[in-house]
Chains A and B, each alone.
Chain A
Amino acid sequence: MDALALQHYLLLSAGLFAVGLVGVLAKRNVVVILMSIELMLNGVNVALVAFSRYSPVDELAGHIFAIFIITVAAAEVAIGLAILLTIFARRNTVDAAEINLLK
């Protein structure tokens, strides 16, 4: 147990988050961007659970947050994919660079 300290988990968390962020920023396919967002969220989940586990007081808040995030992320992907399907139906593309409706 001592071999794995808090910072190892945090490094894993930061790594996952960074990989996800690069995916969000660099990928052009919106489906991949959604997947990358999942990666970022899970990076955060790891950090939360790790903090909760290593907290001096016995706290369950981190675990509960993580479960909430998983739930919300599922809903978010469902809605995100639905929007993406609609856009694809109208514009025939899933390229983020071409979906510049906010201009």
Chain B
Amino acid sequence: MPEIAVWLIIAAPLAAAVFNGLVIRPLFGPVSRVAFDATAGSIAISFILSLWALYAVWTDQEVVLPLHEIIRVDEFSLRIGLLLDGLTAIMLVVVTSVSLLVQIYSHGYMRDDASYVRYYTFMALFTAAMLTLVLANNLILLFVGWELVGLCSYLLIGFWFTRPSATAAAKKAFIITRFGDLFFLLAILGIFLSWPDDTPVTFALSDPNASMDLLSAGGTALTGTALTLICLGIMAGAAGKSAQFPLHTWLPDAMEGPTPVSALIHAATMVAAGVFLVARFLPLFEEAETARTIVALIGGFTVVFAASMGLVMNDIKRVLAYSTVSQLGYMFLALGLGALGPALFHLFNHAFFKALLFLGSGSVNHATGTFDMRLMGGLRRVMPWTYGVFLIGSLSLAGIPPFSGFWSKDEILGVAWSYGGSLGTILFLLAFVGAFMTAAYIFRALFMTFHGQYRGGEAQEAHDSADAHETHDEGHGSTPHESPWVMVIPMAILAVLAIASWFINFPATHWFTDLLKPLGAHVEEIQVVPAAIGLVAGLAGIGVATALYRGGKTSAPSISRPLAPITNLLTRKYYMDELYENLFVGKVLYGWMWRFLAWFDSDKGVVDRAVNTLGLFGRNVGKGIRVVENGQLQMSITVLSIGAVIIVAAYIVWGGVG
């Protein structure tokens, strides 16, 4: 595969973003439909090229692309290039296919929006940035893509910036992910500082021409505590981007953005970038046992932690958001146990069925004008297509065979099962509880949304001002109806993928694992016991949800009343928002840091005092000099003469003139 074709994967959507933003919007206005053609067309090009890349990797196993030097300072040479291996090829196909379907869906969903062109500009820019991130063969270039997707996420969460909650959510997402990125940046600096002196430092991930590249450096160039700290920094960056505990709070709020954005960025691609990053640096993590265990534990904890909150949310998108956090936890769990294949397989399947669920929720919103499930109900009759695809997505998420979610979740459960030891046991239990909760919350959502009687939607919401603070009015009609074909067809395609995407890793062929073999993945045999346990957990979750919510009930007093303290804790999201608001922002930032900075800046502190002192110094020196510099000619000459006499005298005394 020629190098130019690989670069074109990034360049096509980037060109579309520039074209939309700088040509279409100024010349054809903010609602020109050309923007859709440009974005969808360019991403279709990227998609086809990605398939070519996948084929090239599949047949060739290794496509070596050159590195190009862009900066040179003495010994240090920064060379950027693209890396095409199994991991990248999988990510390319996931990103471009989901992105393409979401663009088509958005054509219907965003039809009436006044900022149609701006939407497609950001979407194209996001896709280009995400592709840069996964293709980069240089940590610096990767970081550029990493920050660009964060920026696009910020822009798209705050897309409806006239709504204060949207701008607040955008800022929250940006600041929390930036907090994680800070540690990622420190890890990059750590690599630079702890690199051995006898080899020139390289940020290239894989470089056949150098004696050592980043991915082969673990255990040789980078060792011990330094390597552990670097891995933890990478992990912190990944946790911020993938919304893992304790940096998960931004993702549920990020649902303020348009629903297709949630499907693309906050379900399928950008939040998976953290998993991608850890998977990419797995050779380093393999050498840092402590960091690897922490990854597994954070992932395992997040699985249950997030899933439990999903159980009580009344906003369908928030249920899906916590579900995403929880499912990403599964992937981190697998990566922490060194299981590259299952983690990526779950990422692959999850991207399709979770994007499908989000698009389904968008379709529901399109019909009812609300995201509050208490105001939905009974939609199965008026929206058969949406109901059908949502059911498929739910079954896949719940891990019911033969849907794709079962196969990858089963592999992860199997990995934890056979890992053994106390770590393996703990993680298996967490994964098991998570599987139960996953099935329970998604079927609760399904019953509340589609079963029972219709409870009024947007009209009821407007009527019921008590719930006004939870509304997500996106301005659609309030009589339920099936969504247009342009929205249904992408959902139908994703539904097919949610059923069948696991065929890529069919137990007899293992194509998927073969792709990742050069990176150290090995075939996971299906283990009957953990698979059966996982299936039982999923069926039990569905059973509980059916028992409690069948027939369109909106609450389950038989459960929630006895467990009121727990329900309350879950509804308040474990008070994590309050903790951050009151403790970190209120006490640490405003209480200590800002106060210190205010003191530091004040008259009694350092900055102002230094400035004042400098000013006084100048004034006093001036005062002293003014006495001499009085413009008196003879005074000047007197000083000059005395100076000359002193110099001559010194020369005579010490200069050795006889």
Contacts and interface: CB of A to CB of B under 8 A. Distances in A.
A19 to B, nearest CB: 14
A25 B631 contact: no
A25 to B, nearest CB: 6
Contacts, number: 25
Nearest to B626: A103
A97 interface: yes
Interface stretch (B248-256, B541-549, B633-641): B633-641
A61 interface: no
Given A21-B641, A25-B641, A101 B631 contact: yes
Contacts of A99: 633
A96 B636 CA distance: 12
B634 A100 contact: no
B631 A103 contact: yes
A103 B631 CA distance: 4
B629 A25 contact: no
Interface residues of A, number: 11
A102 B629 CA distance: 8
Contact of B638 (A25, A100, A101, A103): A25
A15 B631 CA distance: 29
A15 B346 CA distance: 105
A103 B633 CA distance: 10
A21 B636 CA distance: 13
B634 A103 contact: no
A24 interface: yes
Contact of B629 (A21, A101, A103): A103
Contact of B633 (A21, A26, A102): A102
A25 B632 contact: no
B350 to A, nearest CB: 82
B630 interface: yes
B632 A100 contact: yes
A24 B631 contact: no
Contacts of B629: 103
A97 B641 contact: no
Task: Determine which residue in B629, B630, B634, B638 has the highest number of CB atoms from chain A within 10 A of its CB, and name it.
Answer: B634
Interface string B314-352: 000000000000000000000000000000000000000
A103 to B, nearest CB: 3
A9 to B, nearest CB: 19
Interface string A71-103: 000000000000000000000000011011111
B622 to A, nearest CB: 13
A25 B634 CA distance: 5
B630 A103 contact: yes
A25 B632 CA distance: 11
Interface in B152-208: none
B629 to A, nearest CB: 7
A102 B631 contact: yes
Contacts of B638: 25
Judged by DSSP, the binding face of A is helix
Contact of B637 (A25, A97, A100, A103): A25
Interface string B624-658: 00000111111011100100000000000000000
A25 B635 CA distance: 8
Contacts of B630: 100, 103
A103 B636 CA distance: 11
A26 B638 CA distance: 9
A30 B425 CA distance: 105
Nearest to B632: A100
Contacts of B631: 100-103
A24 B637 contact: yes
A100 B626 CA distance: 13
Contacts of B633: 96, 99-100, 102
Nearest to A30: B633
A17 to B, nearest CB: 11
B640 to A, nearest CB: 10
A102 B636 CA distance: 10
Contacts of A102: 631, 633, 636
B273 to A, nearest CB: 69
Contacts of B641: 21, 25
Contacts of B637: 24-25
A102 B630 CA distance: 8
Contacts of A24: 634, 637
Interface string A1-15: 000000000000000
Nearest to A28: B634
Contacts of A101: 631
A26 B633 CA distance: 11
Contacts of B636: 102
B646 to A, nearest CB: 15
Contacts of A21: 641
A99 B634 CA distance: 10
A102 B641 CA distance: 19
A26 B634 CA distance: 8
Nearest to B633: A96
A24 B636 CA distance: 11
B24 to A, nearest CB: 67
A88 to B, nearest CB: 15
Contacts of A26: 634
Contacts of A96: 632-634
A21 B634 CA distance: 11
Interface string B355-371: 00000000000000000
Nearest to A102: B631
A24 B644 CA distance: 15
Task: Determine which residue in B629, B633, B636, B637 has the highest number of CB atoms from chain A within 10 A of its CB, and name it.
Answer: B633
A21 B641 CA distance: 9
A24 B634 CA distance: 7
A102 B637 CA distance: 13
A103 B637 CA distance: 14
A103 B629 CA distance: 7
A84 B629 CA distance: 22
Interface in B607-636: 629-634, 636
Contacts of A25: 634, 637-638, 641
A26 B635 CA distance: 10
B623 to A, nearest CB: 15
Interface of B: 629-634, 636-638, 641
13 contacts: A21-B641, A25-B634, A25-B638, A26-B634, A96-B633, A97-B632, A100-B632, A101-B631, A102-B631, A102-B633, A103-B629, A103-B630, A103-B631
Given A101-B631, A103-B629, 12 more contacts: A21-B641, A25-B637, A25-B638, A26-B634, A96-B634, A100-B630, A100-B631, A100-B633, A102-B631, A102-B636, A103-B630, A103-B631
- Sorted nearest first, the 5 A-B pairs with minimum C-beta distance are A103-B631, A100-B631, A102-B631, A96-B633, A25-B638
